Structure 1
Amino acid sequence: MRKLLVFLLIVSLFPVTVFATGTKEAAPAPSAAAAVEEVLTHDELVSRAKAEGKVVVYATTSRIAKAAESFSKLYGIEVESSNLKDFELIEKVAKEAQAKVVGADFVLAQDAGRLVGELMEPGYLYNYVPPTLKDVIPQSMQNPLQAFAINKVFIYNDEGIDKSPYYNIWQFADPKYKSLLQFKNPFQEGVNANFLTMITNEYWSKKIADAYKSYFGKDIVLTTKNAGYEWIKAIYENDLIVGTSDTTIAENVGIKGQNAKRDLPPVGLFVFSKARYATSKNLALKPAMDMEPFAGFYYSLYALMVKSAAHPYAAKLFIEYLFTEEGFAPWGSDCGTYSANPNNPIQEDIDYPFAVWKPLLVEEEGSYCFDHRAEVEEFLNQYIY
């Protein structure tokens, strides 16, 4: 993935005494000499983290609670975790920083565009890569640090079907197949808006134009800025079913008994982790992996330090822990989430390695999303509201 074109603020780590999360406590200004990141061995980091005795994390995933429990059990360090929606987390961190309120020590958050533009560029968050992992995590996932990648893919009802009938994204815009695709409202989840933003860049718009010619047998005639915008317009005008939850979409797609009544089976673009419902809820769900020019998209959960962290060593230790097999377990026990540490296993019976998925998916790039998402959302307004 192309490196995000941002300057990351690297600050020194210093002890800050607070009485409770949310109390006002201005952090001391770092000296010029303190701008160099301190490098500690794992044992030194553990010792200092234990001396702090606590760590506060804001996360956009409920599974942080399980990771916190196992981290506390291993190191004897108290964890105060909060599970927030992506926009809630971003707004909370920004407001606390502006008010000089000491809150989280680190965040585990999604929505790269807003994280980069609203929290990293102003210096509220900064990047930290554990020294023990610099030769393990792919360079493309280190800046900003991606802990996990999560994929959303085209998943269809495969009841009675041996081979996927979906091979080109323009099928969802074909007037013959109205009300075919289901997708969560991009105004309700930032990563969905980021996906639609990414397909308007030069690289993907060219591929989408080529896919149009492959499907319809003629060159695309633009009525918008490029083929990415044209596909967005076309799927909405073809009665895209806009959902409010990936769970609900998965259930609507996967209910058995639908295929005999339709030319093409129900299909949705949602998190691959819902494919587990094929077993747990007796649904028919299978990914369409041979799509032109993409089979979906992926986004990441970023582990980033807070500049005003009261417990910086414990935060660094927890970040390091998330890359271990035990730390990844709350996510790795399911399909659809992939550790940036390639040594951590996946559920091979129901999933594929991220190396298989990545070439099939649109990747999220924070700088592009931050620069262009408002434009795409303005374009979407005419179709959603």
Structure 2
Amino acid sequence: MKRLTGLMSMVLALFLFSGLSLFAGGAQEESAAPAVDEKPMTHEELVAAAQAEGKVVVYSITSRIANAAEAFTAKYGIEVEDTNLKDFELIEKISKEGSTGAVGADFVIAQDGGRVMGELINLGYLYNYVPPTMKDIIPEEFQNPLSFAFINKVFIYNDEAAPVPPFDNIWALTTPEWAGFFQFKNPFQEGVNANFLTMVTKPEIADEIAAAYKEYFGKEIRLTTPNAGYEWIKAILENDLILTTSDTTTAETIGIKGQNKPNNAGLFVFSKFRYKESKNLALEPMMNVKPFSGFYYPIYALMDSNAAHPNAAKLFIEYLLTEEGFAPWGKDLGTYSSNPNIPLQPLDHPMTTWVEILVAEDPAYCFENRADVEEFLNEYIY
């Protein structure tokens, strides 16, 4: 998508992420999703109602939903029809079904907070549901809209060619030494990447970027764009930023051993760090970059207002928030359940670490400002 669609004039309801529990020390703004008044059920009653429906349909931006579906069916005897979609495909499909009243998904696993809030939740196509068994477990700040998990994208480099991190300030990526050596998935092919570039234009983050410029170059930044965030985006694009089609390709290209390129890095999902062992790649994250080392974003579990199997959907959402249900994601590093009781992989870092060094996705800001950033990007990418 080259631009956000369906922009509306309604004001997003905001609430402040307090940064408690899993995200201690971090803060972000979020929009609240409406909940539907329903008769409360015990877990046993929900299981019985779900089994009576016999089936659940889910659209998901993560292919690992298929593994969770198989385990869910084995546990409860409920058929799962799962469809893996790209983030923009899911949003467009739900929007079309919601606007026509067509029956499709019972619930979704979705990302791209700005569009999910503005185009799906605010229009009533999706609504919030928190399993009663999870209300005292999932931190309150992750309950509305319900965050199923969090993903992080981090600056990662080839640690064979460069024994130590090749940069510690994002402005290094704008210098001649880094021309053509930094990779990032095309933001027009993944909404969360467009959201990250939107977030760096947020005034308080742009101020940090301006301070990092002064620290790196020893002088105040001179603006040719609205703020330092836009200026950084412009500078990396003009410095031959390599726009890739997937984070997997990025990781594999950067991590190949035998390269004699000390300046060789990208910004991609931390979960690809597992390729260090599984694919024998030379990969290492950079966790001390100023003013940030990457970004993180939520993945939401939300009910479809046209659900044909609502109880089965609720049971599946509950299951995904347990250690058993989260196992397809929890077996690797780089995906973090909103349930703080689910343990991390040994080589991973807790979100209390990541939140201090990564940019958080603010759906409200992204919804209101991404079209402007995408218009700016159009000048360079197309």
2:212 is matched with which residue?
211
Q: Give deviations 1:271-297, integer Å, cap 9, x for gaps.
A: 111111111111100000011011101
Q: CA deviation at 1:257?
A: 1.9
* AA partner of residue 123 (structure 1): G
Is residue 354 of structure 2 the alignment partner of residue 357 of structure 1? yes
Taking structure 1 as the reference length, the TM-score comes to 0.90
Offset of residue 212 of structure 1: 0.7
Look up the equivalent residue of 2:35 and give its one-letter code: I
Map of 1:33 onto structure 2: none
Contact 1:58/1:89 (CA < 8 Å) preserved in 2? yes
Task: Report how far residue 9 of structure 1 moved.
Answer: 3.0
SS across alignment from 2:152: strand
Task: Report the secondary structure of 2:302's partner residue.
Answer: strand
For the 8 Å contact 1:3–1:140, the answer to whether it is kept is no
Structure 1 counterpart of 2:372, from 368, 372, 375: 375
For residue 160 of structure 1, report the CA deviation from its aligned partner: 5.8
Q: Match of 1:340?
A: 338
- Residue in structure 2 matched with residue 238 of structure 1 by the alignment: 239
Correspondence for 2:3? none
Q: 1:97 touches 1:124 (CA, 8 Å); kept in 2?
A: yes
Deviation at 1:64, TM superposition (A): 0.5
- Which among 1, 9, 13 is matched to residue 34 of structure 2? 9
Q: Which residue matches 1:96? A: 97
Asked if the contact 1:86/1:109 (under 8 Å) is kept, the reply is: yes
Deviation at 1:180, TM superposition (A): 2.4
> What residue identity is the alignment partner of 1:359?
E
Equivalent residues of 1:146, 1:302 under 8 A apart: yes
Q: Tell me, yes or no, if the aligned pair for 1:58 and 1:82 is still in contact at 8 Å.
A: yes
Comparing 155-164 and 229-238, the one that deviates more: 155-164
Equivalent residue, structure 1, for 2:76: 75
User: Which amino acid counterpart does residue 335 of structure 2 have in structure 1?
Assistant: T
Whether the 8 Å contact between 2:205 and 2:229 is mirrored in structure 1 is: yes
Give the C-alpha shift of residue 138 in structure 1.
Answer: 1.8
Describe the superposition over 1:49-79 as per-residue Cα deviations: whole angstroms up to 9, x where unpaired.
1111111111111111000000011011111
* Equivalent position amino acid for 2:78 in 1: I
Tell me, in whole angstroms, the C-alpha distance in 1 between the residues paired with 2:204 and 2:322: 35
How many residues align structurally?
Answer: 356
% of aligned pairs identical? 64
CA-to-partner distance for each residue in 1:306-335, whole Å, 9 max, x for gaps?
A: 111111111111001001111001111111
Separation in 1, partners of 2:168, 2:218: 15
- The runs of 5 or more residues in structure 2 that have no matched partner are 1-16, 18-27
Aligned to 2:276: 278
Shift of residue 10 of structure 1? 2.5
SS at structure 1 position matched to 2:167 = coil
- Per the alignment, residue 182 of structure 1 pairs with 183
The structure whose Rg is larger is: 1
- What's the offset of the Cα at 1:177? 2.5
- CA-to-aligned-CA distance 1:185-241 (integer Å, 9 cap, x gap): 000111100100011101210111111111111111111000110000010011111
Cα deviations by residue, 1:361-382 (Å, 9 ceiling, x for unpaired):
1111111111111100000011
SS at the partner of 1:55? strand
CA distance in 2, matches of 1:5, 1:277: 35
Structure 1: which 4+ aligned runs deviate by more than 6 Å?
A: none
What is the TM-score of this pair, normalised by structure 2?
A: 0.90
Aligned-residue CA RMSD in angstroms?
1.3
Structure 1 residue 139, shift from structure 2 partner: 2.1
Q: Shift in Å at residue 162 of structure 1? A: 4.1
Q: What displacement does 1:86 show?
A: 1.1
Question: SS in structure 2 opposite 1:310?
Answer: coil
Secondary structure, in 3 states, of the residue corresponding to 2:154? strand
SS in 2 for 1:192: helix
Query: Given that residues 151 and 297 in structure 1 are in contact (C-alpha distance below 8 angstroms), is that contact kept between their aligned partners in structure 2?
Result: yes
The 10-residue stretch of structure 1 (207-216 or 350-359) with the greater mean CA deviation from structure 2: 350-359
1:328 pairs with one of 304, 310, 326? 326
In structure 1, the residue matched to 2:21 is none
Contact 1:113–1:368 (8 Å) recurs in 2: yes
* AA at the equivalent of 1:168: N
Distance in 2 of aligned mates of 1:381 and 1:161: 33
Contact 1:258 1:265 survives alignment (8 Å): no
Is the Cα contact below 8 Å between 1:3 and 1:143 reproduced in 2?
Answer: no
Q: Cα deviations across residues 68-94 of structure 1 (Å, max 9, x unaligned)?
A: 000011011111111111111111111
Cα 1:221–1:3 change in 2 (3 A) is closer
Please give the alpha-carbon distance, in whole angstroms, between the structure 2 residues aligned to 1:283 and 1:118: 40
Cross-structure match for 1:135: 136
1:140, distance to aligned residue in structure 2 (A):
2.2
Distance 2:326 2:179 in 1: 41
